[in-house]
Structure 1
């Protein structure tokens, strides 16, 4: 088997990896580059966007834009495989945005042809045997893959973490479905934060619940597709007995999870309690505005609320009308969006909406280095190849005491041997 990291060997985001064997090609992810990436690379790849496409397929790990954002460039004859619920969540998002973003309309069209797989059930494409397993990430239904041919086995991690609600079962799933492998192709997003103590989702939920007790009027800026965080905040508000308010788009995403037959959706975390989320309505007489009546204002003034918000004029106008002279705002996503006005990632609308007194309440969607080591011990690879990292040399320094770490450059072709290296 051969591997080419078309993009992602030295950057976070924009991931595209290719596996080759006997003339067949299996690609993993085709993502957008993140804002501020030093070098923009427009990819035109043999077997994916041009040339002979008859022996090519694409695997998608999850629906974040830096992994799925360019799949509309893939010709329709190439099969695209993705988790069933992940497809549905992205289709809801793309359908919501298609009128204002032509690219989302193209993504929706491509996703309508996507082929769902079932985690824990192996399938084949040409000479490749593929075993998908569900992993914990800030995207629901994210998957990692064991990719096996006659001569080699690889574990492609995708983005994952070990401090989410379900992470305690991760190594058991590795043992059951993956076993030992020859290579690990591993994300290294947090390598520069190797000593970071990452807060667990459970502890973050407890912290926010305590703050919802303290503050009556709460506004949380949060990605609508961060399913774990959405339901975590919903159940925190439910236990306190205050209304949890979302817009219709956020509610459609929550409903998709609640109604799903996904193995994780069986958990009580993803079920509605006695009081379902309250859904904002649009004002038919004032396009672009949410409807907020005097009765609704009086109700919220008495009960308090947790509002899941986005930084746009519609929410800004709504928040101005909602009760509470002292509203507590929270940022529950990456703080790089508001920390540096000179950064390409800076979102001035979000920064303005948050104001000065917001609380930063977030935890990473990526693994820490201590638990990466535990994964490597269990997989017992002959070598590791880092991707999705802007510090590959630091990654190698951390782990080459126990395993060979092969550092590739974008576009390099590397032969994956089944024999032990070094």
Structure 2
């Protein structure tokens, strides 16, 4: 089995790995790089059948629903099947209306430790803990060789059972392990908090109890773990939770009745729609979306009547100026629950300045979607691969220094043999 990393050997995001055996190939992830602007055209990697002569790949296996792992799929030629977890695919379909998802029209679905065979490749998905719902690591077998691709994963989210199972029953006899190293950045590089999602819940609950007015938690509606965290923290502070329409549709798309959603059996979950979302529904004429949550909606007057009873959770950052003008954030608090790096960008600086100008305090409650170095060490020790290969990292040279394991570095585009 031959392998080449098309992007990710020295870069976080845009992951794509090509595997070849018996004259056929598959791709593991086909991501859009993080540095690409929304209107920037990024070509497909020069994989066999895409940029190089040869048959089309037998399949593209998407590990999870973050765009830096699926973002180039729309550019695939017809005839290349896509596989992904079912809930992950349904979430992306729900997000398509809001401009942050896609209908992958997938041919097959990944399920935890249910093996599938595609051409000469045998693929076993392992459900993992990540900030994207329904994420997988992949064991790929071909030509008598075994490669384990971590995808993106962590140990400190809301799925500790999946992490324990991976350590207690790891894939065996792994010849090469492609291991993400997002949090192995150089010391001078900005990183993310590595506290647990449970700790985020505890800290957020304290913020909610101490705030007198409305609390607005700004987070990605696709971060299901964070949605659960906000709901649980709200209960601890005796507040009700309102999510935006995007988040409500994503929660339903998970297919799990354990996820907070606007429904009769979730009486403390409501829907508050910011202006942008109301306009989007109106302009599209898709009023069935608002009709589906009509019985669960709240409005400005509900927030104004009892601001200390509510916490909003979702993509509300563009609606904050309107809430300030309406006086809804008088005595309130904004919680930034995303990567702090966004605040360094011009839009983030303007947002921070707006809050400061109006005396609205901002708290930071967040944690990384990627594993801490100590957890990566534990995974390596459990799998015991013959060869360790860095991916999804801008610091491949730090694997030996930080993890204590010597890694074999491969350049993007270079073939190597498992």
Tell me the TM-score normalized by structure 1. Answer: 0.83
SS at match of 1:178: coil
User: Per the alignment, in what secondary structure is the counterpart of residue 185 of structure 1?
Assistant: strand
Contact 1:238 1:275 in 2 (8 A): no
How far residue 85 of structure 1 moved from its aligned partner, in angstroms, is 0.2
Superposed CA deviations along residues 380-415 of structure 1, whole A, max 9, x for unmatched, are 11110001111111123334x54x411111111111
Question: Structure 1 residue 320 and structure 2 residue 317: aligned?
Answer: no
Cα distance in 1 for residues equivalent to 2:112 and 2:372: 24
The unaligned stretches of length 5 or more in structure 1 are: 99-103, 417-422
Paired residue total: 392
Which among 125, 132, 143 is matched to residue 136 of structure 2? 143
State the match for 2:286 in structure 1.
none
8 Å CA contact 2:50–2:56 kept in 1: the answer is no
Q: 1:357 deviation in Å?
A: 3.0
CA contact (8 A) 2:122 2:140 kept: yes
2:398 is the counterpart of 1:397: no
Q: Partner of 1:45 in structure 2?
A: 46
On the 8 A contact 1:312/1:349 being kept in 2, the answer is no
Of 304, 311, 321, the residue aligned with 2:309 is: 304
Q: 2:241 aligns with which of 244, 249, 268?
A: 244
Cα 1:354/1:160, change in 2 over 3 Å: farther
| CA pair 319-283 structure 1, distance change in 2 beyond 3 A | same
Task: Write out per-residue CA displacement over residues 17-55 of structure 1, whole angstroms, 9 at most, x where no aligned residue.
Answer: 111111111111111111389xx9734423353544445
Shift in Å, 1:192: 2.1
> Could you list the per-position Cα deviations for residues 145-165 of structure 1 after superposition, in whole angstroms to 9, with x for gaps in the alignment?
011113211110011111112
- Correspondent of 1:202 among 169, 184, 198: 198
Equivalent positions of 1:353-392 (< 5 A) are 355=356, 357-392=361-396
Distance in 1 of aligned mates of 2:59 and 2:387: 25
Residues 32, 69 of structure 1: 8 Å contact kept: yes
Counterpart-to-counterpart distance in 2, 1:236 and 1:269: 12
Alpha carbons of 1:55 and 1:253: their partners in 2 closer, same or farther (altered >3 Å)?
closer
CA gap of 1:307–1:187, structure 2 versus 1, over 3 A, is same
Contact 1:53 1:78 in 2 (8 A): no
Deviation (angstroms), 1:338: 0.6
1:34 aligned counterpart, secondary structure: coil
1:358 CA displacement: 1.0
Among 78, 81, 84, the alignment partner of 2:83 is 81
Q: Distance in 1 between matches of 2:154 and 2:202?
A: 19
How has the CA–CA distance of structure 1 residues 349 and 279 changed in structure 2, closer, same or farther, with 3 Å as cutoff? farther
CA separation of 1:232 and 1:73: change in aligned 2, threshold 3 A: same
Equivalent residue number for residue 93 of structure 1: 95
Q: Which runs of 5+ in 2 are unaligned?
A: 283-289, 291-296
Residue by residue, what CA displacement relative to the aligned partner does 1:60-101 show, whole Å, maximum 9, x if unpaired?
011111111111011231111100000001111112228xxx
Taking a change above 3 Å as real, the CA distance of residues 34 and 352 of structure 1, as seen in their structure-2 partners, is farther
1:132–1:292 CA distance, 2 compared to 1 (3 A): closer
Does the 8 Å contact 1:231/1:270 carry over to 2? no
Secondary structure in structure 2 of the residue aligned to 1:158: coil
In 2: Cα distance, 1:350 partner to 1:94 partner: 26
Q: Give, in whole Å, the separation in 1 of the partners of 2:363 and 2:274.
A: 29
Write the deviation string for residues 114-144 of structure 1: whole angstroms up to 9, x where unpaired. 4212222000111111000110111011110
Q: CA offset at residue 317 of structure 1?
A: 1.8
In structure 2, the CA distance between the partners of 1:75 and 1:405, relative to structure 1 (3 Å rule), is same
**Structure 2 SS opposite 1:87:** helix
Q: Which residue of structure 2 lines up, in the alignment, with residue 419 of structure 1?
A: none
Give the C-alpha shift of residue 321 in structure 1: 2.2
